Chains A and B, each alone.
Chain A
Amino acid sequence: MTIPSAKRSVLALPSVLTRRHFMSGTATIAGGAAAGTLLALSNPSDAATPAANPPTDYDPRTLPINYLTAVKDQDHPNPCNACTAYAVVAAVEAAYNKSKNQQGSQGPDLDEMDLFSNPGPQGGCAATHWWPKAALNYCQTPGLKWQSSASNSRIKIAPPVSLLDDSNLSKTQRAMKEWISAHGPVVGVMVQYEDFYSFGKAWSATHGTQPNPNVYSLDRKNPGRIVGGHSIAIVGYTGDDHWICKNSWGSGWNGDGYVRIAQGKNAFAETYIDRIDVWGVTVV
């Protein structure tokens, strides 16, 4: 199986788990008082320490104010290994909207390719990888430019917070949940196998724009080759089961552009989405 070059998204930078099926309706959504309590975590450094319990399940798309912006396509108009730029911008846009308590549709549309073109990796769109830290540095200074705007104003972020505890997966996962529910999406890096792209493509082929309730985990028998790394915005979660992720392969991939990815459970041959590089952002 060959992945179309258009979907060889890179970090702007890799057992048998079968796909488990979950009904989308089973995810209870935290909001209201619970989310409000967590919003008290205004200092990024606070998120690294134990705080009020995060909601058991969290999906901002079901909140009265959905602060997520539209799903973008890193391969439009031209194929580009710019997933890190798209994941970072998705997180910053959402953090901005959440801080302003406004819908994503009312928020900024920031320029991913400005981010990718300036501090971006050697090799440009054909780059093999680009770690999020470099992109996040640019988001601090000079900040992110608005898309299609004559204004020179930029949105800047506070120093990003690494949520990774390499020796304690549970601690990392808890920190991620606290951050996501309090501040907005986090930027994660996963190992991308060939079957990840086909997972969403196959769903869309048979279900159109209907969101995919299934959780992606590796096809144990034949996940295909490891393609490389992939950056993605982790916007929510369902218990200790899966992360809800906003991808950058267009709104037509996997139904609505989002994907549920199994959380790490100390099993081998997983995506390592919560083990490699995880960053929380807040706007200033």
Chain B
Amino acid sequence: MASGPSGTGGWADLVALLNVQFEDANRGNFARKFKEKHGADGEGKDTGTTRYKFGQFVDRHGGFLSGAALGQFLIDSGQRHWQDASLGLMEHTIKHSLTQANPKKIVFTVLPDTTGSPTARAEVRDQNGNELKTPAQVDAQASYKITVFCPPNNPRPKP
């Protein structure tokens, strides 16, 4: 990851902002904006909307990052940097939550990866800590805890 689990402009900062968006007071408004951008089901089927993909909301909702840091974040959100299955399930969970009539709460956490993997992975769990592994299991729950495990920092070297 460009900025890893800690540090300005990194995933930790982004996750902190996401957690604010998913708080009870803000979640409804966040969901409304989400559906304006990605359609009622997040698939971009409605006129003027685009299909939701994790990472791209940073670009489309603005304000989180800017300049080179934004570009680096987008690179790090790319599929090459993720274990595919976990990325897909996290994406599904966010989309599922924000397209419900009553958007479901998600709490994000970022931790450093300790397995030596060059790619990031996300674990989706229910409120009781049980890991959810399929979209059907996700859909059946009322709220979620998502932990993103990041490889070590690999920031763009200073000129």
Cβ B156 vs Cβ A276 within 8 A: yes
Q: How far is the CB of B135 from chain A (nearest CB, A)?
A: 17
* A128-B44 in contact given A164-B159, A269-B56 (Cβ < 8 Å): no
Cβ B68 vs Cβ A14 within 8 A: no
CB-CB nearest in chain B for A122: B118
CB-CB nearest in chain A for B151: A128
A134 at the interface (CB under 8 A from B): yes
Q: How far is the CB of B20 from chain A (nearest CB, A)?
A: 21
Cβ B59 vs Cβ A133 within 8 A: no
Which residues of chain B are near A129, meaning CB under 8 Å?
A: 75, 80-81, 154
Q: How far is the CB of B96 from chain A (nearest CB, A)?
A: 18
Which residues of chain A are near B72, meaning CB under 8 Å?
A: 276
B50 partner, pick from A13, A128, A133, A221, beta carbons under 8 A: A221
Residue pairs across A and B with CB atoms within 8 Å: the count is 96
Cβ A166 vs Cβ B81 within 8 A: no
B77 partner, pick from A11, A14, A81, beta carbons under 8 A: A14
Convert B64-77 into 0s and 1s, putting 1 for each residue whose CB lies closer than 8 angstroms to a CB of A. 00011011101101
Cβ A10 vs Cβ B80 within 8 A: yes
Which residues of chain B are near A221, meaning CB under 8 Å?
A: 44, 50
Cβ A272 vs Cβ B60 within 8 A: no
Cβ B80 vs Cβ A14 within 8 A: no
A191 partner, pick from B60, B71, B157, B159, beta carbons under 8 A: B71
A14 partner, pick from B55, B67, B118, B156, beta carbons under 8 A: B55
